[in-house]
Chain A
Amino acid sequence: MTERTNVMAIQNLPSSATENVVEPPKRREMPGWMITAISVVVLIGAWQLFGRDINPVFGSYPSAIAVAGWNLLISGDLLTALMSSLQSFLAGYSLAIVVGVPLGLIIGRSRVLENAVGVYITAGNAMPLVAFVPLLVLWFGLGFTVKAAIVFLMSMFPICINTWSGVRAVPKTLIEVGKSFVAPNSVILRRIVLPATLPYIMTGIKLAVGRAVVAMVIAEFFTAISGLGGIIINSANNFDTATMFVPIFLLMILATLLNGLVGLIERRVAPWQFELSDRE
């Protein structure tokens, strides 16, 4: 019935009007960041509302954590801890990229290396590397080096494995493009395999952010107690739960920011990947 009336309506319009029909602008959708922001505000609000009823030893709530955070900040402890943590984090994490990416590339391109070395990479990724911490302490002591080593060990494997599987996913025909122009293997690796693998590499680097943060905290728990992990352990031992949450939140924010940063870099170095996929 409605369809018929629509037809009638169109027929009744003057012809010039039908020619000039323009699609009405789409209703403006709420931007994605606003949806996220509302979700975060609602969650924090609910926590503030209900968190006050919990015994402060067993839990805390946002305003108490904010006060504890402010106190840590003005005492300078937070900044010192952050700097100490960041040092070992960045050292281990960048070394993991520098070693993991080339290693993944050559493992993926060489049948011999893939079978000779690949098994250790897979095993290393699967096993609980925390178990090595006591041994690493014996090797490297309790300071900066051992922390960087733990971060390196735990973040290198996902980077390497992702790079490796990315190389394996490079279409054979793209390699043949290189071969058909008589490109030597090193040039094929650099000019074809590396760019084709970049999206995978960036995914590995993103996954490794989370692993590296966990590694950093574990290192600070089990070696010389210091940095953000040190604040967590010390305040937990003093039943100061609100203070304990401060570095936890800081780490969460840092990891999210770092993830976003890697995502931005990804868009810069491998933009075709995003232009290819579209999502509603």
Chain B
Amino acid sequence: MGQVSLVDVSKRFALRIKNEVKTVNALSSVNMDIKDGEIAVLIGPSGCGKTTALRIAMGLETASQGRVVVDGRVVTGCGYDRGLVFQHAELLPWLSALENVMFGLEMKGMRGAELRDTAMRYLELVGLADSADRRPHQLSGGMKQRVGIARALAIDPSVLLMDEPFGALDAQTREGLQGELLDIHTRTKKTILFVTHDLDEAVLLADRVIVMRRGTIQETIDINLPRPRGDLGALRGSAEFAEARYRIWRALHEIPETTH
């Protein structure tokens, strides 16, 4: 099972600007249900609250109101039922790629040969078995992020939460990793909540795109492209892709559907 829901989640905080206290509504009554095995993409302009929503789902931030439900249980704080892939990988620089993957497993209580083998298996899953002994500074940006994905997947969470993981990569590396993520998803059937501001990325990856604006959900759009997605290059050029992309574009720009 791998389900995560935000139920009526709001996040408010007070900001003091020139001695005036202002309440900022980062999120207002956000509801979302991420179903088992699907890839849901949160998209929106910066400051729309998509990262805040993800961090609340992860338990790194607390909601001012509302609750997070994972597999039917209300959760507070972080847990091994959720794995987070950070925006900039955030590998521990003093550990090798393998040790970085082992770190999460150790925290979960795994020891001995099983620990090493499991970590190695996940490095293989992201195609980095040959670089197991490299330190983060000896890895490229794309490789670092793959270690980040392996580290999050290794603890076998119900849900994988990804916070703009490919945003800082160059276009070619990004395309490669998008394809790999889809492969990994096909193989592991993990539920994924993915935050991005990249329209193409949203269409390529998602079963459902959740468009956010100013702390609320603007629209939820189903992407009916076939799975597996196959040749991503060809998919990008297809009419279905363009149509789905345009629908999200309109939602992002608040153009009502009726003018279609």
Contact = CB atoms under 8 A, between A and B. Distances in A.
Interface of A: 171, 173-174, 176-183, 187, 191-192, 195-196, 198, 270, 272, 275-276
B165 to A, nearest CB: 13
Contacts of A187: 107
Nearest to B60: A176
18 contacts: A173-B88, A174-B92, A176-B84, A179-B60, A179-B78, A180-B60, A181-B104, A181-B107, A182-B79, A187-B107, A192-B92, A195-B94, A198-B94, A272-B93, A272-B94, A272-B136, A275-B138, A276-B93
Most buried by A among B77, B78, B108: B78
Contacts of A195: 92, 94
A114 B191 CA distance: 42
A177 B137 CA distance: 18
A177 B79 contact: no
B68 to A, nearest CB: 14
Interface of B: 58, 60, 77-80, 82-84, 86, 88, 90, 92-94, 103-104, 107-108, 135-138, 155
Contacts of B137: 272, 275-276
**Chain A at the B interface: SS class:** helix
- Main SS of the interface on chain B? loop
B86 A177 contact: yes
Contacts of B136: 272
A191 B90 contact: no
A233 B78 CA distance: 63
Given A177-B103, A181-B80, 6 more contacts: A176-B60, A176-B86, A179-B78, A180-B84, A196-B93, A272-B94
Contacts of A272: 93-94, 135-137
Contact of A270 (B78, B94, B103): B94
B143 to A, nearest CB: 16
Contacts of A179: 60, 78
A99 B55 CA distance: 37
A181 B78 contact: yes
A173 B58 CA distance: 14
Given A173-B86, A272-B135, A275-B137, A181 B92 contact: no
Nearest to B105: A181
Given A181-B108, A182-B80, A173 B90 contact: yes
Nearest to B80: A182
Q: Specify which of A179, A182, A192 lies most central, judged by the most chain B CB atoms within 10 Å of its CB.
A: A182
Nearest to A191: B103
Given A187-B107, A275-B137, A176 B90 contact: yes
Nearest to A269: B94
Contacts of B104: 181
B76 to A, nearest CB: 12
